[in-house]
Structures are given as structure tokens and as C-alpha cells.
Structure 1
Amino acid sequence: MVDQHSTLRAQRRTETQRKIQAHAVRLFTERGYDNTTVTDVAEAAGVSPMTVYRHFPTKEDMVLVDQHGRLVAERIVASSAAQPLVRRIGNALIDSAATLTGASQGDDLTAGKRFLLARLRLMISTPALRAKHLDNHYALQQAIVDALGNDAADPDAAFHAQVAASACLAALHTALVRWAEDDGRTELADVIAKALAAAFGEDTVKPATGIASSESRGRAGR
């Protein structure tokens, strides 16, 4: 019974957090980030400002908080440690992006895509969010390094993991900006795979949908 109550509380917390964030992103987009207060978001979400702060300690967090780090870490942990670092990280970034955006039907954007696009546009256009995003970048890099499970006592292994994570995240950032500028007309996973291939070579990561040649697919499968 205790476990059931804990699960229900966690579900309610997640639902409240998602509702607050959805209203925050909508208001920031409609009114402007600087012109929208935490009180405005609380009123729109039907909660108190204190509840907003319990879920999002800062105003920036209402845009920046997401599941990306957890999804990437889970996929890295599930991957084979025998693979090169960049392949493990790159494939995790591609897979998590596909999960976050969902599968689109024709030219229609999924709810996940529309929400991510709105968040990315805010991050790109708002100086305060760009600065805060750097903190999230470092946090994601550390989550990736931790998920790789390298021996922390080996300075060289830790350094290699940090370099690989940082390089992959640089490619990810470029892909996200390109995808936002393109209004999400292409699959985000494809854009990320293309960016990683440009940085590290087509054989470094598995091909996403529709961007790799049949020859590179054959090589990746071997």
C-alpha cells in the first residue's frame, strides 16, 4: 500500500510539473520570456507560485528541465561497452531524440515536436536561457560520463570519456539549432545523426531514418 501511494504521488507530481511547464512555455512564447512572471504561470496552471517553485526552483528551469539526460544515460548504460565511446554516446543521443519527439505522420508535427521546438526557440532567442543552458550542458556531459561507467581512478579513461561526451554534445547543439531554424520539418534524430556523421564520419554512429546511403548501412551492420 505504501508503494502504491508513493507511485501515485510521483505520478501526480510529474503531471503537475508537465502542466506547469506547458503553460510556462506557452506564455513565454506568446508574451515574451521577460514579460511573463512566475505568478502569471501559476495562475495559468491553476496552482500557487510556491507550487511552481517546488517543481522549478528558477524561472529558467521551466524551459530547460526535461527528460533528455535520463533518457541518454539509460541508453548508454544499455549499450555494449565494447563499442567506441562516440558510437555509444551518439546512438544514445539519436535514440533519445526519437523518443522525445515521437513519430510524425506526414507533415504533421507531434505534440512532442511542437513542445520541443517552442523550448528550443526560447533558448535560442532569450539571453538568460542561453546562459543557463550552459549549466545544463555540463550536467548532461557529466551524466553521460557517469553512464559510461569508466573507472574514475583512471585519469586517462575519464579524460577520454569527457572529451567524447563534449564533442558529441557540440554536434548535438548544432543539430538542435539547425532543426529549430528549419521549423522541425525533418526528423530531429536524422539531423543529429547527420551532425554526428559530419563530425566523426558516417560509420561512427548507426544511421537514422533516411539519411544514410545503403552502402553506409551495410558497413554499420557489420
Structure 2
Amino acid sequence: MGSMAARPSLADAHPPMGLRERKKLKTRLAIRRAAYRLIAERGYEATTIEQIAEAAEVSPSTVVRYFPAKEDIVLTDEYGPVADALRARPAGEEPLDSLRAVFREAVAGVLRHEPELMRQRAVLLARVPAVRARMTEAMAESSRLLSQVLADRTGRAADDLEVRVFTAAVMGALREVTVHWAERDQQDDLVALIDRAFDTLGGRHSLQAL
């Protein structure tokens, strides 16, 4: 795939934030870190929005304004929309290669900046049905956004069946990678697991060969 350093990064896809945006980001991060800290101490079900608000030094209404549901706190991230990063990939690149590069970089970025949050998120996804259900909803929305970008890049309609199936397959593979990683106590290299998943999607690994 070539050197990752020579390609656009997630950060490159977004202009610098203004003061207001930085304040919003700071608040979101404070809420998330408070939530993860409390969940680690008390468990997911025992942690309430009110407790998270108190720990983050904001009001409960502020928490709900930024994150409508508790599940959203542990599922969303601050490293830029993947759809924008996908749009920035080279126009002639194979869609599967583009998505592989984008998701590898996104995951590697979170692991560099907030590895513990990534680990806690994966554990919650594997163990808490409400989190897994909300992730399925979030992935459906992400799949819709990615389908639009892929449709634009390939000249197809956004509701094209092949585009939808292709994108849904990628998102489903990423969900299974995360659950697999968590169930194996996060001993594996997560980025390497993403590569294995994309190799499988691309036909480089055959189940018959296992």
C-alpha cells in the first residue's frame, strides 16, 4: 500500500479548530474520561449520567446535550469523521485499500493518544449488550456515510446494492475485530487484526485453507 506517512492523515482532513470548537472538544473529553473512570470503578450499569456530570464538573443536561445516551459516551471518538478521511484518499485507489488505510490510521491514532479508553471501550462492547446494540446503530449510520463517499468515488448511486453490501461487510468485520480483540484480553495487535480482516474481505485468506 505504500508509505502511510506520504498519505493524508485524519488530522489533515480538517481545518484547525476555533476557540469555541476547542472548548466543546475539551468538554466532551472531560465527560468521556469521567465516564470511563467511574465505569472502571463501579461498573457500567451502576454508573449514572448524574455521577458522570458531577465527576466532569458539568450539569447532567450538558452531558445529555453532548451525548444523548450513556452508550454514546463510550462509543464516539474525537479523531475526525472517517468519511472525510476516505474522501481524501487518492481517487484511483481501490475502495478496499482506501478503507483499510483509513481505519488502520484511525485505530492507530486512538491507540497512540488514548490507549486505555480504546481498551475499555472494547471490553464494554464485548460485555454490555446495550453498548453493542448502540454500536450496531452507530455503525449503520457510519455505513451510510461511507456508502455515499464510495458512491461518489465510483460513480454509483448511494443506494446501489453492491455499495451498501460492500460497506456493511467492512463495518461488520471491524465490529468483529473489536469483539475478538476484547475477548482475547487485548493480547493481539489490533492494527494487525484489522489487516487480517481486510485480507479476508479481499479474498487473500480463504476459510477453506484454515
The interval holding the TM-score normalised by the smaller chain is 0.7 to 0.9
Question: What is aligned with 2:73?
Answer: 62
Q: Is the 8 A contact 1:89 1:165 kept in 2?
A: no
Alignment of 1:96 with 2:96, yes or no, is: no
Corresponding residue for 1:174?
176
- For the 8 Å contact 2:125–2:179, the answer to whether it is kept is no
The Cα RMSD (Å) is 2.5
Letter in 1 for 2:179: V
**Residues 148-159 of structure 1: pairs in structure 2 closer than 5 A:** 148-150=150-152, 154-155=156-157, 158-159=160-161
Please list, as runs of the form range in 1=range in 2, the aligned pairs for 1:101-140 lying within 5 A after superposition. 101-102=111-112, 112-140=114-142
Task: Go from structure 1 to structure 2 and tell me whether the alpha carbon gap of 1:164 and 1:39 turns closer, same or farther (over 3 Å shift).
Answer: same
Question: How far apart, in 2, do the equivalents of 1:157 and 1:54 lie?
Answer: 31
Q: Show structure 1 runs of 5+ residues with no match.
A: 1-5, 103-110, 204-222
* Pairing 1:74–2:84 present: yes
Instruction: For 1:150 and 1:22, locate their aligned partners in 2 and report how far apart those are by CA, in whole Å.
Output: 37
CA distance in 1, matches of 2:97, 2:203: 11
Amino acid at match of 1:64: L
Contact 1:152/1:158 (CA < 8 Å) preserved in 2? Answer: no
Q: Computing the radius of gyration over CA atoms, which structure comes out larger, 1 or 2? A: 1
Structure 1 runs (4+) deviating above 4 angstroms are: 151-157
Q: Any gaps of 5 or more consecutive residues in structure 2?
A: 1-16, 206-210
| TM-score normalised by the chain length of structure 1 | 0.76
Q: How high is the TM-score relative to the length of structure 2?
A: 0.79
Q: Among the aligned pairs, what percent are the same residue?
A: 30
1:42 equivalenced with 2:44 (yes/no): no
Q: 1:145 to 1:25 in 2, by over 3 A?
A: same
Does 1:185 find its partner at 2:187? yes
